[in-house]
A and B are shown apart, each in its own frame.
Chain A
Amino acid sequence: MRTPVRFPARTSLEQILDTLEHDPAFAELVTHWERLPAKPARFAPFPEWLDGRVAHALRRRGIEQLYTHQAAALERTRAGKNVVVVTPTASGKTLCYDLPVLDAIAKDGSARALYLFPTKALAQDQLAELQRLSADIDIELKTFTYDGDTPPAARAAIRSAGHVVITNPDMLHTGILPHHTKWVKLFENLRFVVLDELHTYRGVFGSNVANVLRRLRRICRFYGSDPIFICTSATIANPEELARRHVEADVVLVDESGAPRGEKVLAFIQPPVVNLQLGIRKSALLVGRDIAAMLLASGVQTIAFTKSRVQTELLLTYLRARFPSPQWPPDLVRGYRSGYLPSERRAIERGLRDGTVRGVVSTNALELGIDLGALQAAVLVGYPGSVASTWQQMGRSGRREELSAAFLVATSSPTDQYVIQHPEFVLGRAPESGLVNPDNLHILVGHLKCGAFELPFETASGKAERFGTEDTAGVLAYLAEQGILHEAEGRYHWSDRAFPAQGMSLRTASNDNVVIIDTSGRDAPNPHKGNDARERVIGEVDRFAAPVLVHEQAIYLHESRQYQVERLDWENAKAYVTEVKVDYYTDADLAVRIRVLDEFSRSAVGRFDRAHGEVLVSALPTIFKKLTMFTHENVGWGRIHLPEQELQTTSFWLALPEATVRGWPKERVEIALAGLGNLLHGLAPLFLMCDPHDLGLAVEARSPHTERPSVFLFDMTPGGVGFSERLFRSLDPLLQRAREHLRSCPCGDGCPACVGPAYALGRDVRSAVAGLLG
């Protein structure tokens, strides 16, 4: 039997915030305390043309009017325009697409709609929502999710009878488009395509999705339909541009929210300096733990976000130590991240909704709009890497019109330190762009093959098809030469026995994952279970991340259990682990070399030369360190024996004038470059909506290409997804922020938040970088 949940004193969030605001010790940590006032709703009437049954159903649910942005979205789609709706979390974006779709189906029972969500969990949520809504409507509406979990027996009915098919881009890619002849009714009558959470379709995933949508539109043309695209997005600098890249047509922006908002307190938290000389701050994880524990102990349902899987596991361990059983129920705080199996995740989502789970520690897997009920507080351990994510994570608390709170705790990383000292960066206009590069050949070629598999490509002059790139004809001719396509009667036909979509992942560039297998049970056979129980798969990591995460002797964390990697079978992509109990975690290093293959563009900015182009990067994992859990002290190390990996990609680079470093000792040049590299690498994500590790860094005291001291920031995705070109164009503001940050960093000689720690790089690193930047 379970101990009932007993909270010592249920304190209201208002009281907690009041206490915090007036606590001088806490005030020391706060760089900014923003109280966003409640905002009243702005309404618009139902449009006259809206089908009476749909309007009636809304009234039955107590909805008498629309928010202004919903009405605006309806009018635009009515006029046949593609739209992108950009309004805050919980502003009723769903109705912006549900209403046009329901109206169309009410008026014409043959009309069809396709909804794409980035995750299966979101699709399930939307299915429930649409079914609730349609239950009130006196029309025949069949809504289904179609994904890997759909039972084979149900598939035929969904294909022919589903009015609204809810799926994800991956399933569209492998399960629907290559079998379009089974979906004739859908494609002939497709009126709307919904792209929810459009801002997640960026980078590698977005570049792949843009190509899947090209394939979707080819098939629609074949069946004679021309659907309207309705997109929704979190706040980014370029929603229209991103939507246009995906839809490849004009898209109208709807961004004036008419939804009300509850009062919200945002606190920017700067952990205290622990060691002034080394510029080391108290760990954001520990500060975040204290805030989350305080909230949880007061009965406030709280979600904590961390930036990595490892951090999620660490914070979970810390919080569980604060709430030990049997005084506290064992499920009080749960972990939630992408490595978890779907069944584990569904159980956690249910627990959050029914209140048995009071706290969740998550990576960004939960930032998307899954409806978990009213979480009252969010604790963000570390700046999530983009303003859009920050708002989405902060928006996870306070989904109703009540007071809510969000705490952003800075780590000592450069972006965090910049943001915590410049809160206007988050509170002001969205500065960052969602970038895709659908014409990246590494990505496009695969989709061109899939496209040819789905429908032959027209090649005859005058009718020649273009699939994104201007080089479509060239790539098709090449594939024909390779024997993969066959040209006949002015068309390129698929002529290979393989099924091209199979094994082609949209989410990773490397296309294969390393599976993590727990062998702890192998030596202790369990008579009640079969052999299968002795070895079990506990998670997976993509291959590029594998050398760093699951090298031999690495400590891998899962559900706050520690596992040591005993053996990494690199060929077969399997890591064998056993459970251990140790007081350290591991951190691995990579050695990087870079060669310029092609320079796309170059120009001078002040004393610097900037350029971007194509490069070949070689990365070799070298050593790993063992660091203690709470103090991060180095207690050991080892070598990693794994092959060098090569990456052909795009890079931005900055060459410094020789004169700047003339007369400097070689060592000072190296220190200065490393410091400048760290500074730029740290701040670049502010413009790119990417994680720092999506961007690689290499510095060369004398680059064979530029023949000068140079800093390279390259895209970690083969072929690149647009980061380097954007950095090339944004160099002025980047350098400006770098100078600003270097001046205002409170550390002495250099710390991880600016140029890197002086104790590791050299005492004069900060002044050396200042010398370079001028």
Chain B
Amino acid sequence: MTTDLAALRAKLDAIVARDPKPAASGLREAPSRSDISLAAFETRERRIDIGSLGLEVVGHGAPDPGVLVHLGLRGDPPRSWEDILFLDTETTGLSGGTGTYVFLLGTAHIEDGELVLRQHLLNDLGAERAFVRMLQGELGRFRACASYNGKCFDLPLLRSRFVMALRAEITVDASHLDLLHPARRLWRGRFGSVTLRQIEESVLDDGRVEDIPGEFIPDHYFRYLRARDPTLIGPVLEHNRRDIVSLIRVTDRVASAVVAARAGRAPDHPPAALALARAFDRAKEHEAAFGCYESAYVEGDLETRIRAALPYARALEKRGQVERALSLVETLFALGLGTPTWRASAEARLRRLGARPSGRLAARRRATTAT
């Protein structure tokens, strides 16, 4: 059954119009192809003096594997800062899947005291295969990368593009530092959200004024594809560039916090100290862990204290300070604090430490109630 074109269009109007339009569809306009001819894809490079970034750890000497563990490392620790490719992608959608294109890959690496920042931009979806082949060359020089939520977002998407275009694997994340989780550990308690934007504002003290919100980027790009107007893509490039620089600075902040804590200077925000203490515990760095627990316990508010008390007591115990461990748990317990689960563990711990909860404690509780 062949329908004539007008009838087909009328039908499609009725069908397609029933679909809910995306929120930002107001941005869409009639397609027009400008005469501006652009390369199918391009690479923009910028070199920044590394001294201008105010980095304390990143780029200085060889990275300490013990510090890298705290930077969300999966895989073997890279031997030098120069071996790490910092990366961030801009895509045509946030939901993933084979119809989501990576149209911009921003990368940065350290070379001869400079930060080499490259942005690879796809100007024509039809040239995606060649674009990805070029990316393959770029990424292929590294076997370690750093990202912000790249494990769940950027790398799966890149992987998908590599399979679609070249049927090839990706190896740049053989070692991968994903800073999202370390950032969450350190700062979520303090600032609530740990989007890169929030961290810039609150931690790096470097908020953005004229930034394009991430959710508008796909529509900006689709308009750019049609209109080929460079002013449309400019804000996206700037957004990506700032993301990369922030990524490096966040990496440095996390690393600095770790280095400082190991030197006995725990983060001044007690919940962050507690989170770091736990991470040190997991990494079997007991000395550093102890310092952070202590700081969290001593500086923390009541809630942080309760959360810190048991692991802190265990750390004290390991250092032979059993009596102190006992007394701090006992005090919190006797005050009737904590959730039932916490109280159950506290009681178990007290027993293990040799207290007689029914004797000493009961007496103390009576005393507390009496007052």
Q: What is the interface of chain A, defined by CB distance below 8 A to chain B?
A: 178-182, 184, 439, 441-442, 445, 452-456, 470-471, 474-475, 478-484, 486, 488-491, 493-500, 502, 598, 600, 648
Contacts and interface: CB of A to CB of B under 8 A. Distances in A.
A498 B160 CA distance: 17
Please name the 4 residue pairs, one residue from A and one from B, whose CB atoms are nearest each other, closest first. Answer: A489-B126, A453-B99, A488-B126, A494-B99
Given A184-B163, A471-B2, A483-B222, A488 B96 contact: no
Contacts of B226: 483, 486
A463 to B, nearest CB: 14
Contacts, number: 107
A445 B98 contact: no
A482 B12 CA distance: 10
Contacts of A497: 22, 24, 92-95, 218-219
A478 B9 contact: yes
B22 A496 contact: yes
B127 interface: yes
B22 A495 contact: no
A179 B98 contact: yes
B98 A499 contact: no
Nearest to B127: A489
Given A181-B163, A486-B225, A471 B8 contact: yes
B359 interface: no
Contacts of A442: 15
Nearest to A489: B126
A598 B5 CA distance: 15
A627 B77 CA distance: 75
A306 B248 CA distance: 66
19 contacts: A178-B97, A181-B98, A181-B163, A184-B167, A455-B164, A456-B125, A478-B8, A483-B222, A488-B124, A488-B126, A488-B127, A489-B125, A489-B126, A493-B126, A497-B24, A497-B218, A497-B219, A499-B93, A499-B96
B14 interface: yes
Contacts of B24: 497
Contact of A495 (B2, B12, B222): B222
Interface SS majority for chain A? mixed
B16 interface: yes
Interface string B220-236: 00100110000000000
Given A181-B98, A181-B163, 17 more contacts: A178-B99, A179-B160, A182-B160, A441-B8, A441-B12, A471-B8, A474-B5, A475-B12, A483-B222, A486-B125, A489-B125, A490-B126, A491-B125, A491-B126, A495-B225, A499-B95, A500-B99
Contacts of A500: 99
B175 to A, nearest CB: 20
Interface string B145-176: 00000000000000110011001000000000
Contact of A483 (B11, B15, B28): B28
A478 B12 contact: yes
Contacts of A598: 7
Interface string B92-120: 11111111010000000000000000000
A447 B229 CA distance: 32
A360 B212 CA distance: 60
Contact of A441 (B11, B22, B28): B11
Interface string B1-35: 11101011101101110000010100010010000
B16 A493 contact: no
Given A471-B3, A481-B31, A483-B31, A179 B96 contact: yes
A447 to B, nearest CB: 12
Contacts of B127: 488-489
Nearest to B99: A453
A314 to B, nearest CB: 36
Contacts of B125: 456, 486, 488-489, 491, 493, 495
A634 B230 CA distance: 72
A325 B147 CA distance: 64
Contacts of A482: 16
Contacts of A181: 98, 159-160, 163-164
Nearest to A219: B98
B98 A180 contact: yes
Interface string B26-70: 001001000000000000000000000000000000000000000
Contacts of A470: 1-2
A495 B97 contact: no
Nearest to B216: A497
Given A445-B16, A483-B222, A474 B8 contact: yes
Contacts of A479: 16
Contact of B93 (A179, A483, A484, A498): A498
A648 B95 contact: no
A502 B159 CA distance: 22
A236 B78 CA distance: 65
B124 A445 contact: no
B258 to A, nearest CB: 29
A454 B225 CA distance: 20
Contacts of A455: 98, 164
A58 B31 CA distance: 63
Nearest to A222: B164
Nearest to A174: B97
Contacts of B2: 470-471
B14 A648 contact: yes
A131 B9 CA distance: 51
Contacts of B167: 184
Contacts of A453: 97-99
Nearest to B167: A184
B97 A499 contact: yes
Contacts of B31: 480-481, 483
B232 to A, nearest CB: 14
Nearest to B29: A483
Contacts of B98: 178-181, 453-455
A445 B28 contact: no
Contacts of B7: 598
Contact of B15 (A445, A452, A488): A445
A445 B31 CA distance: 21
A484 B125 CA distance: 14
A493 B122 CA distance: 14
Contacts of B8: 441, 471, 474-475, 478
Given A181-B160, A486-B125, A441 B15 contact: yes
Nearest to B124: A488
Nearest to A223: B167
A181 B169 CA distance: 11
B222 A486 contact: yes
Nearest to B17: A482
Contacts of A488: 124-127, 225
A488 B40 CA distance: 10
A116 to B, nearest CB: 20
Contacts of A489: 124-127
A475 B8 CA distance: 8
A52 to B, nearest CB: 35
A107 B303 CA distance: 63
A615 to B, nearest CB: 13
A196 to B, nearest CB: 27
Contacts of A486: 125, 222, 225-226
A180 B97 CA distance: 8
B268 to A, nearest CB: 38
Given A478-B8, A478-B9, A493-B125, A502 B95 contact: yes
Contacts of A491: 125-126
A495 B14 contact: no
A668 B124 CA distance: 69
Nearest to B164: A181
Given A445-B12, A475-B12, A497-B22, A179 B97 contact: yes
Nearest to B14: A648
A600 B31 CA distance: 35
Contact of B99 (A452, A474, A475, A600): A452
A150 B99 CA distance: 24
Contacts of A452: 99
A587 B15 CA distance: 32
